[in-house]
Structures are given as structure tokens and as C-alpha cells.
Structure 1
Amino acid sequence: MKYNKTVMTKLINQHRELHDELKKIKVEMGLEKNLAIKALYHSAVADNGPFMLEYQELERRQ
């Protein structure tokens, strides 16, 4: 499974908790949006993260 910004953005838009976590990462770590999205991918999706299956489903639909 590879990081895909478009798929990750769709996932974030579907889940308020991911949206809130993205804002938190941007503020706490001082990251720009693109890097914060990538960090969120690694914490919430990659390596059997809680949103991995939903991410894979969105990826298949593309």
C-alpha cells in the first residue's frame, strides 16, 4: 500500500476525527498541510492503522 494524497484527502474529509487530528498535527509540529497529511497517513492508515481498510477501499474505487 502506497501513500496517495488524493485518497488520503478523501478519507480526511469523510472523518471529522481525522480532520481534527490533521489540524492538531499542523499546529503542534508546525508542519505545512501536505506534510501533515503524510504524517497522518503514517499514524492512522499505514501498518494496520485504524483507517487502513477504509483507505484501501477508497484506493480501489479510483
Structure 2
Amino acid sequence: MKYSKKTMTKLINEHRELHDELKKIKKEMGLEKNLAIKALYHSAVANSGPFMQEYQDLERLQ
């Protein structure tokens, strides 16, 4: 599975908890949005994360 900012952004927009987590990552780590999205991908999607299946479903639709 490959990281896609477009797919990750769609996933974040569909799930309020991911949106809140993104804001938290940006604030706590002082990251800009693009890096925070990538960090969220690695924590919530990659390596059998809780949102991996939904991410894969969005990837197939593109």
C-alpha cells in the first residue's frame, strides 16, 4: 500500500476522529499540515492500522 495525500485527505474528511487527531498532531508536534497528514497515515492506516481497510477502499475508487 502506498501513501497518497489525496486519499488520506478524503479519509480525514470522512472521519471526525481523524480530523481531530490531525489537529492534535499539528499542535503538539509543530508540524505543517502535509507532514502531519503523513504522520497520521503511518499511525492510523499503515501496518494494519484501524483505518487501513477504508483507505484501501478509497484507493480503489480513484
Q: Tell me the TM-score normalized by structure 2.
A: 1.00
The alignment status of 1:2 with 2:26, answered yes or no, reads: no
1:23-42 equivalence runs, <5 A? 23-42=23-42
Moved segments of 4+, more than 2 Å: none
Alignment of 1:1-62 (within 5 A): 1-62=1-62
Structure 1 segments unaligned to the other structure (5+ residues): none
Equivalenced residue count is 62
SS in 2 for 1:26: helix
- Secondary structure, aligned partner of 1:47: coil
TM-score (norm 1): 1.00
1:4 Cα deviation (Å)?
0.1
Unmatched tracts of structure 2, length 5 or more? none
Report the CA distance between 1:12 and its aligned residue.
Answer: 0.1
Q: Deviations over 1:38-61 (max 9, x none)?
A: 000000000000000000000000
